[in-house]
Homo-oligomer: A and B are copies of this chain.
Amino acid sequence: MADPLFGPELRLMLADDDAAGLKALCEDLHPATVAEALEDFSPQEVWKIITPASIRTQAAIFEYLPPTRQVTMVEADRAQVGQLLTKMSHDDRVDLLRRLPVKTKEAVLRLVDEADRKDMATLFEYGENTVGALMTTDYAWLPPTMSAAEAIDQLRQQAPDRETIYYVYVLDEAVRRPDGGVSPRRLLGVLSLRDLILAPRHAIVRDIMSDELVSLAFTDEASVAADLLARYDFLAVPVVDASGGLLGIITHDDVIDIIQNEATEDMQRQAAVGPIEGSFLDASFGNVWYNRAKWLALLFLLQMLTINVMRHYEGELEKVIFLMALVPLCLSVGGNAGSQAATLVTRALALEQITVKDWFRVLRRELLMGLALAATLGVLAVLRTQFLTADATHVKLGDYGFPFASLVWQVTFSVAGICLCGTLVGTMLPIACQAVGVDPALTSSPFVATLSDVLGIVIFFNVANWFFF
């Protein structure tokens, strides 16, 4: 939502061509606040509003604009973007380039100087959703031989251009490779600004740094980075190549996005949607269709088993057509109870609250839970059929020669049995997936519901067998 406070003020300044006012406003407020206030302006207007500010401020505001907005901004005025890119944080600018159409990207890259272009090209090469693609290369660093006082002076100079100076990386000498290129400097240790400030002025960096290195490989998945930062409460984690050379860092603000994205993907999988790239309205129609249709089609094919099962009982069915009205009700119970169990177990696995080796504890608990839930619904089923069934049904049952109690027990036992069955399927399927190395999130709720429908029909007609056939 746009900030209600600054929008009108901005519009006024824009109408008055008040460059000084615009500059002051952009520079004084937090860039996120400015970006929010810009939401209702056209790309051309946004450029006019931010241009009076310094390039650094422009870049900061630009970084906080929503991704799709950034792309339209670039397309509205490519020339402006060249300068901006040099001041944007290195991970954010690569993200932006990734989203630009190829032609725009090439045009924009021509406006950037050699060194920046090379840096972007390197980050660009890493696979999507890897640590390499998310990291930033503007980290603060020190040689191991400096004193604490020199180090603080050195950081003062680096501070304006670095994503963070609260963690400083201690790097080895650069080594020239036989082919003439330079390998990334090897990571020796890490030093927090807190420890640097606490250290005596003459202490040597090598002696005060921590060499217990927690680092990521550039090929690691983004989720590994998120787990690591979450577990250690770090502000940043270094990313290294195979020989320990520092390539970049992943910072705490990236982790929030990673965690949100992971949760979104897990939720989508739970609802049988192949993970969808991009936000709801921006995602491409074809891609969303494919990721929904493939699961719906698969579930549809599986659910066809219900036809075979129903056909199997067709003979009995014709004798007791009046039971058919109860089938959708009884089947739904299994899907609902199964969705609950599957979601709880899958999430517990994802958060590592349980592991495969806990399967027996989980089974025992969910067996009891299934029984308790089945009993609850069983009572409701007795009440419903005993007291709310129309006289017509009593008459009809009589016509067929069945006592009314048969109907009550049919519903009650089916519902209880199907509830228990759904719970157990929903519980064990994700654990079984995990055990054989398949992502448990693939056992979506609709998948559990489909399986429990097939089993539910079997239960329903077997119960009917006792009471009616």
Spell out A's residues near B (CB within 8 Å).
1, 28-30, 32-33, 36, 64, 152, 155-156, 159-160, 165-166, 193-194, 197-198, 212, 214, 229-233, 235, 252-253, 255-257, 259-260, 263-264, 266-268, 270-273, 276, 279-281, 285, 288-289, 292-293, 295-297, 299-301, 303-304, 306-307, 310-311, 314, 317-318, 321-322, 324-329, 331-333, 335-337, 339-340, 342-345, 347-348, 351-355, 358, 361-362, 365, 368-369, 372-373, 376-377, 380-381, 384, 390, 415, 419, 445-446, 449-450, 453, 457
Q: Which among B155, B280, B322, B381 is the interface contact of A344 at CB below 8 angstroms? A: B280
Q: Which among B194, B256, B344, B377 is the interface contact of A268 at CB below 8 angstroms? A: B344
Q: Which among B285, B296, B335, B381 is the interface contact of A449 at CB below 8 angstroms? A: B335
Contact in complex: B369, A231 (CB < 8 Å): no
A276 surroundings in chain B (CB, below 8 A) = 344
Q: List 19 A-B contacts (CB under 8 A).
A: A30-B214, A156-B197, A159-B198, A193-B197, A259-B259, A263-B267, A272-B340, A273-B340, A280-B347, A285-B368, A292-B340, A296-B337, A296-B419, A300-B381, A300-B415, A303-B328, A311-B325, A317-B324, A335-B335
Overall SS of chain A's interface: helix
Contact in complex: B453, A328 (CB < 8 Å): yes
Cα distance A202–B87 when bound, in Å?
Answer: 29
Residue of B nearest to A261 (CB): B351
Cα distance A307–B232 when bound, in Å?
Answer: 55
Assuming the A-B contacts A311-B325, A332-B453, are A271 and B342 also in contact, with contact meaning beta carbons closer than 8 angstroms in the complex?
yes
Contact in complex: A271, B29 (CB < 8 Å): no
A381 surroundings in chain B (CB, below 8 A) = 300
Cα distance A460–B182 when bound, in Å?
Answer: 70
Cα distance A279–B358 when bound, in Å?
Answer: 14
A sample of 14 more A-B contacts (CB under 8 A), given A235-B235, A299-B332, is A30-B212, A32-B232, A156-B197, A259-B260, A267-B343, A268-B343, A285-B369, A292-B337, A296-B377, A300-B377, A303-B328, A303-B329, A317-B324, A324-B327
Contact in complex: B327, A328 (CB < 8 Å): yes
Cα distance A84–B317 when bound, in Å?
Answer: 70
A317 surroundings in chain B (CB, below 8 A) = 321, 324
Cα distance A130–B415 when bound, in Å?
Answer: 40
Residue of B nearest to A233 (CB): B253
A314 surroundings in chain B (CB, below 8 A) = 321-322, 325
Min Cβ gap A252→B in Å is 5
Residue of B nearest to A305 (CB): B329
Contact in complex: B380, A339 (CB < 8 Å): no
Residue of B nearest to A162 (CB): B194
Cα distance A362–B281 when bound, in Å?
Answer: 7
Cα distance A457–B324 when bound, in Å?
Answer: 12
Q: Which among B288, B301, B322, B325 is the interface contact of A380 at CB below 8 angstroms? A: B301
Contact in complex: B340, A325 (CB < 8 Å): no
Cα distance A232–B36 when bound, in Å?
Answer: 11
Residue of B nearest to A352 (CB): B1
Contact in complex: A271, B377 (CB < 8 Å): no
Cα distance A415–B296 when bound, in Å?
Answer: 11
A373 surroundings in chain B (CB, below 8 A) = 289, 292-293, 296
Q: Which among B235, B271, B333 is the interface contact of A340 at CB below 8 angstroms? A: B271
